[in-house]
Structure 1
Amino acid sequence: MDGTLVDTEPYWMATEVELAEEYGATWTTEDAKHLVGNSLISSGHYIRERTGIPLSAEEIVERLLDGVVARVQHAVPWCPGARELLLALKDVGVPCGLVTMSYQRFVAPILEHLPPETFRVVVTGDQVDQGKPHPEPYLTAAAALGVEPDECVAIEDSPTGATSAAAAGCQVLVVPNHVAVPPGERRTFLDSLVGVTPAVLKTLPDRNMAARDLP
């Protein structure tokens, strides 16, 4: 979700800076980029170790969620082409699952801006034992959808997310956002989701694809 469907990474980064400054600590852009795609609890531990904030990792996560949820309720920053692709997939009856390391209370206000049943399955970071880059989140979603992972296309924007999806056996469409994603098996790259249709997803090979290749 973050960085793929909605560009909320700036919301997370701003909240991280606010939290660090509240306790007289420093938080850099590089620190923030280090957390992209990670589970929230892993991010909480990293922030605690990096800044020395006198809060538990769990408390840090809740503080981050407070700040980001407030920003999302004010405005949902959709990534270009993402909402259009979701609606097109719904129109042709392709079952979709949302696999995110964010928690349910952050996901809920975003899903309110989509038609009901846009996602038949939602797997959040607080529902799995092992987060990305482990394959568990994608294996869980595929099982809930009643399909094999190799029948799925995962859309990801981070190295951890792409690793998780590929390890589960999914074909991965990588649309990098705030961090670079290295090439790898089962990965196809595009600059954005603008112009991507259900028909395009059906034909994804394991190669680089430029916008000019779109029908």
Structure 2
Amino acid sequence: MVKALLFDLDGTLADTDPLHLLAWREVLRPYGLSVDPVFYRERISGRLNPEIVRDLLGLEGEEANRLIEAKEARFRELAQELEPTPGLRNLLQKAEAQGLLWGVVTNAPRENAHHVLQALSLKPPLLVLAEEVGRGKPDPLPYRVALARLGVAPEEALAFEDSPSGVRSAVGAGIPTYALLTGHGAESLLEAGAKGVLRDFREALDLL
């Protein structure tokens, strides 16, 4: 019996990936890197910022922090008017009518997470930030923390993700996971362990 729904943020609650791609493209251009959709999907999507800049540029410390802060500030400038993924509000209404718990589990920095949630007019009862728990996706720790805080077993939850990294995190915590096709292909998401793929949340209503 499902007792809780857990959602990733970027690319799941809203299709923010095009905005992240644009922001990364702008801040990485001076370093001679060209960010196209394939590069973004393979080298950036679903990863923590410090890992991204260390992998792409070999940067750590203050220089890495400055680059990350510039990228995230640019993202927030771009993300002023966001629309929720189709079907999300209906899914949340159905979940709340059934007395289900719900929360958000994200690798996004705190300021970005609050910015996106405010833009979507969403107030999740639970928000788990990878930067606060010490390890980010694909590590399962963020989802394990979410389960503990909600007091539910893995099999009593459903997770919704959009990247192979996120799917591996939720599946690694033992949670049945469905993946949205907002940024990655079905094959990579299913290989990561997703039970199924969804075009949007209108296809998730029958899961409850």
TM range (shorter): 0.7 to 0.9
Alpha-carbon distance, 1:189 to partner:
2.0
TM-score w.r.t. the length of structure 2 is 0.83
TM-score w.r.t. the length of structure 1 is 0.81
CA distance in 2 between partners of 1:191 and 1:147 (Å): 27
Q: Does 2:86 correspond to 1:80?
A: yes
Q: Does 2:116 correspond to 1:110?
A: yes
Asked if the contact 2:104–2:126 (Cα under 8 Å) also holds between the matched residues in 1, the reply is yes
Question: Counterpart in 2 of 1:11?
Answer: 19
Question: Counterpart in 1 of 2:102?
Answer: 96
For the aligned residue pairs, the C-alpha RMSD in angstroms reads 2.3
Q: Does 2:55 correspond to 1:58?
A: no
CA distance in 1 between partners of 2:166 and 2:83 (Å): 20
Q: Deviations over 1:155-200 (max 9, x none)?
A: 0111001111001000001112212234244622222222432xx2
CA distance in 1 between partners of 2:25 and 2:81 (Å): 20
CA distance in 1 between partners of 2:149 and 2:61 (Å): 39
CA distance in 2 between partners of 1:83 and 1:110 (Å): 15
CA distance in 1 between partners of 2:60 and 2:172 (Å): 34
Asked if the contact 2:163–2:189 (Cα under 8 Å) also holds between the matched residues in 1, the reply is no
Aligned pair partner of 2:207 in 196, 201, 204: 201
Instruction: State percent identity of aligned pairs.
Output: 25
Question: Counterpart in 1 of 2:51?
Answer: 42
Alpha-carbon distance, 1:132 to partner:
0.7
Tell which has more relative contact order, 1 or 2 (C-alpha 8 A, sep 6+): 2
Partner AA of 2:138 in structure 1: P
Q: Normalized per residue, which structure has more strand?
A: 2
Structure 2 segments unaligned to the other structure (5+ residues) = 1-8
Alpha-carbon distance, 1:97 to partner:
1.2
Partner AA of 1:100 in structure 2: T
Alpha-carbon distance, 1:55 to partner:
6.4
Aligned pair partner of 1:189 in 186, 189, 197: 197
CA distance in 2 between partners of 1:169 and 1:53 (Å): 33
Alpha-carbon distance, 1:111 to partner:
2.0
Larger mean Cα displacement after TM superposition, 29-38 or 178-187: 178-187
Q: Normalized per residue, which structure has more helix?
A: 2
Structure 1 segments unaligned to the other structure (5+ residues) = 203-215
CA distance in 2 between partners of 1:172 and 1:104 (Å): 24
Aligned residues: 194
CA distance in 2 between partners of 1:68 and 1:108 (Å): 13
Aligned pair partner of 1:138 in 123, 140, 143: 143
Alpha-carbon distance, 1:67 to partner:
0.8
Moved over 4 A (4+): 52-55
CA distance in 1 between partners of 2:49 and 2:207 (Å): 29
